[in-house]
């Protein structure tokens, strides 16, 4: 059941469960096969410190876009939504097609052969130089080339990495995964960015970060 919940692929369940030496995190993460993302829980900013038991924690912006995974192996790409729907045809299976891949292919460092990135696919305004929200009436999943090349464009805001050069990373703590993420690609404004984050320990730091995100029209934390 755990594997089914992670992959939504009954064929994978049948094929992979015949090896009892494989761990769950290794089985569930496979290139070009979507896995269900880890989702957050709602919490009030004035209760964060208590929930974290006084330990240090990360704060980052929750962008108002669509949760997506980017799978890459050399020049082959796939894009999957939160519900495991395949949008590769739209975004581009290589750097020679689609509305997006051609703009970020050369951002990846030369020693990166395979990778799975987790993040938020957003709409970026070329005029205002900001990420738009759903209230701006743009749907990143249905953008066409004509719209993409004029007023707005697709921007992938990456906040996690699940696989790096065939090594599954989901059993590693977030701090270690971020080290892999920082050596995966070079950011490109309006196209491919790493979601900014900060370390905090108090409720007030969480509240201040929330207010800053609201003022910057970034959504929520």
DSSP β-ladder status, 76-81 and 66-73:
antiparallel
Residue (of 80, 130, 70, 129) closest to 101 by Cα position: 70
Question: Active site residue: 22, 42, 44, 62, which one?
Answer: 62
> Alpha carbon of 56 to those of 115, 135, 184, 192, 200: distances in Å?
28, 33, 26, 28, 6
Q: For residue 19, what are its two tokens?
A: 């090896």
- CA 3, CA 48: separation in Å to the nearest integer? 31
Residue (of 126, 181, 183, 127) closest to 157 by Cα position: 181
220 is catalytic: no
Could you list the active site residues?
Answer: 62
């Amino acid at each position: 059941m755990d594997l089914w919940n992670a992959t939504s692929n009954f064929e994978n369940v049948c094929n992979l469960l015949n090896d009892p030496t494989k761990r769950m995190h290794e089985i569930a993460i496979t290139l070009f096969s979507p896995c269900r993302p880890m989702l957050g829980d709602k919490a009030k900013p004035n209760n964060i410190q208590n929930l974290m038991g006084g330990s240090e924690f990360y704060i980052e912006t929750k962008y108002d876009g669509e949760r997506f995974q980017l799978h890459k192996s050399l020049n082959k790409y796939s894009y999957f939504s939160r519900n495991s729907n395949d949008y590769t045809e739209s975004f581009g299976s290589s750097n020679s097609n689609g509305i997006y891949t051609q703009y970020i292919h050369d951002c990846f460092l030369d020693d990166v052969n395979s990778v799975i990135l987790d993040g938020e696919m957003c709409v970026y305004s070329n005029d205002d130089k900001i990420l738009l929200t759903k209230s701006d009436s743009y749907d990143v999943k249905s953008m066409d080339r004509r719209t993409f090349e004029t007023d707005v464009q697709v921007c992938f805001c990456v906040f996690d990495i699940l696989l790096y050069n065939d090594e599954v990373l989901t059993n590693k703590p977030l701090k270690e995964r971020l080290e892999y993420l920082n050596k995966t690609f070079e950011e490109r404004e309006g196209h491919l960015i790493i979601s900014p984050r900060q370390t905090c320990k108090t409720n007030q730091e969480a509240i201040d970060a929330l207010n800053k995100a609201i003022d910057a029209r970034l959504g929520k934390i």
